[in-house]
Chain A
Amino acid sequence: MTRQKRSHHKLKRAVAPYLYLSPSLLIIGLLMLLPMVTVIAYSFQNSAVLRRDPSFAGLKHYQAIFDDPVFWASLWHTLYFTCMSVIFHMTIGMIFALMLNSDRINPTLRNILRVLYILPWLFTAVIIAVIWRLLLEPNGVVNSILMQLGIIGSKVEWFSSPETALHAVTFANIWAGYPLFMVSLLAGLQGIPKDFYEAADIDGAKAYQKLIFITIPQLMPIIISISLLDFIWTMQVFPLIWITTGGGPIYSTEVLSTYTYKLAFSSYNLSQASASAVVILLISLGLTLFYIRYQKAR
C-alpha cells in the first residue's frame, strides 16, 4: 500500500463507526431526545399542542399538579403498587428458583415445571388483565373457591370496591412479573461454584446457613440490578391497571401513568399532563442514574 492509500484507509476507519451508528442515532435523537425536550417545553406552555401559538405559563401547570390531591394519591398508589410488586416478584422468584434448583427433584419434572412456572411471562398485559377480571368477577371462580373454603363469607367485588381494588391489581401484577426474577436467579444459582457448598458441608453448615452465607451474597448483584429495573418498569405500568380498574373506583387505583393519561386524553389538558409526564421522567431518570452507576461499579 502506498502512503496516500494508507492514510485514506485510516480516515475511512475513523469515520466508519459513526456511519454505522448514524441511523440509530438519528432515530434516537429525533424520536426520543427531541420529544423529551418537547414535553418539557409543553409543560411550560398554555394550551400546548392544541394551539399554534401557546403562551408561556411558567410553573403554573406544575403548581396545579402539586395542588391536586389526586396527584398525591396516584403517587402513593404507584409507590405501594411498585414496592409490593418488586418485593413479591423477588421473594416468589427466589423461592421458585431455589426449589427448581434443588437436587431433590428429578430432572424431567424440573424441566416441565420450569416451563410451566414461566407461563405468566408469556402473556401480554392486556390479556393478563382480562384473565384476572374473569377470575375475580363477583360470580367468578376465585370467590367461589374462597367461599367454599370458608375464607370469605360473601362475594367480594375485588376490582370494584375501593378497599380491595389496589390490592387486587397489585396481586395480578405480582403474578405477572415474578418470572424475570426466577429466570435470572436460576441462571445465577447455576453459576455459583460447587466447591463453596462442599467447603461449607465439610464445616458442617446447615442448609439455612448455606443460604444466608453463600447463596444470597453470591446472587446479590443480580438481585440488586433486577430489582432496580423491575422498580423502574413497574412504576410505568399502564395497561394492566387501565383494563382492570381504569384507575377507579373513586381514584383508589389511580397511578401516575393513568393519572397522566387521563389528564391528556380525557380532559385534553395536555399542558398539565406534560408537567405530570416530566415529573415521572425525573423520577425514572433518577433511578436510572442509580442503576447505571451500580452497573459501572460492578
Chain B
Amino acid sequence: MRKRNSGKDKLITVALHVALAVGLFFAAFPIYWMLSSSFKSNTEIFALPPTILPKAFTLEAYAAILGDSVKLRFFFNSYFVAGAVTVLTVLIALLAAYGFSRFNFRGKGSLNTLIISTQTIPPITLLIPFFGLVVSYGIFDTYVALILTYLVFTLPYAILLMTGYLNTLPRDLDEAVLVDGGTSWTALWRVVVPISLPGIVATSVYTFLLCWNEFLFALTLTKSTSMRTVPIGIQLLMGQHAFEWNQMMAMSVLGSLPLLLIYLVAQRYFLAGMTAGSVK
C-alpha cells in the first residue's frame, strides 16, 4: 500500500493535476475557440488582445446560416444521405453477421479476412474508378451516387461490429426456434433482432458518423450546390467568403451537433463503434 502522507507524495499529486490542466487546455481550447468565435462579430474574432469570452455576444452568424436556404440544403443532404446509408447498411450487415455468427460454411475464414482487409483500402484508390462508373451510368451529381459509394465503406465495419455483437448472444434462443421446426429466417427476425438492439444501435451510430464525416466522395461525385453535403458546404463557404470566420465557425458548430449529441446520449455505443476497427 502506498503511503499517502509523505511530502513527496503530495507533490506528485499536485504535479499530476497541473499536467491534467495542461492536457485539458490542449484538448479543449481549439474547440472552445470555435464555439466562442461563433458568437462573436467578425471584427472581434481578430481583436488584439484576443477576447476569451465574446465581448459583444451575437447570434448573427447563426442567423446568417439558418436563414440561408442554400446552407440548410447542405444539412438536409447530409442527414438524408447519412440516414439512407445507415438504414441500408444495418439491414445488409445484419444478414451477413447472422450468416457469419450462426453458421459454419466453406470459405468462412477467407471471407472474414477479406472483410477485415477491405477496411484499409484507400478511398483515393477507389475514387477514380467510382468517378468513371458514376459518369458512365449517368448518376453523377445524384444522391444515388453518394449512397452507393458510402455503402462500400460502411459495410465492412458494420459487418464486423454486428458479427462481434451476435457472437456474444447465446445461441439457445434461436436454436429453440429451429428445433420447433421454424426456419433460420424466422429465428433471425423473431428472436435475434429483438435481443440485438444494442448492437444495432452501435452499428447505426457508427455508420451515421462515417457518412456524416465523408468528404472526398462528396467533393468529387457531386457538383451542383444543391447536392453538396455539410463538409463540402463548409469548404465552399471558405472559398466564397474567406473572411466570414464567425459564419464558418457557426456552421462548424451546427455541423458537429449530431456527433456531439450522439456522443452525449449514447456514449457507450459511440465508443463501441469508434474502437470497432481496432479491438477484436
Binding site for B on A (CB under 8 A): 12-14, 16-21, 23-25, 27-28, 31-32, 34-36, 38-39, 42, 48-49, 95-96, 99, 102, 104-105, 109, 113, 115-127, 130-135, 137, 139-141, 144-145, 148, 175, 180, 183-184, 187, 201, 222, 225-226, 229, 232-233, 235-236, 238-239, 242-243, 256-257, 260-261, 264-265, 270, 273-274, 277-278, 280-281, 284-285, 287-289, 291-292, 295
Binding-face segment, B19-27, B54-62, B63-71, B196-204:
B19-27
Cβ-defined contact, B1 with A281, below 8 A: no
Please report the C-alpha to C-alpha distance between residue A120 and residue B122 in the assembled complex, in whole angstroms: 23
Contacts A21-B111, A23-B96, A281-B125 given; does A141 touch B33 at CB 8 Å: yes
In the complex, whether B263 has a CB less than 8 A from a CB of chain A is: yes
In the complex, whether B169 has a CB less than 8 A from a CB of chain A is: no
Q: How many residues of B contact A (CB 8 A)?
A: 93
Cβ-defined contact, B279 with A187, below 8 A: yes
Residues of B within 8 A of A134 (CB): 33-34, 37, 45, 245, 248-249
Residues of B within 8 A of A122 (CB): 256, 259-260, 263
Binding site for A on B (CB under 8 A): 1-2, 12-13, 16-17, 19-20, 23-24, 26-28, 30-31, 33-34, 37, 45-46, 48-50, 92-93, 95-96, 98-100, 102-105, 108, 111, 113-118, 120-133, 135, 148-149, 151-152, 155-156, 159, 183-184, 212-213, 215-216, 220, 230-231, 234-235, 238, 245, 248-249, 252, 255-256, 259-260, 263, 267, 271, 274-275, 277-280
Cβ-defined contact, B105 with A99, below 8 A: no
Cβ-defined contact, B234 with A126, below 8 A: yes
Cβ-defined contact, B28 with A116, below 8 A: yes
Secondary structure type dominating chain A contacts: helix
Residues of B within 8 A of A127 (CB): 34, 231, 234, 252, 255-256
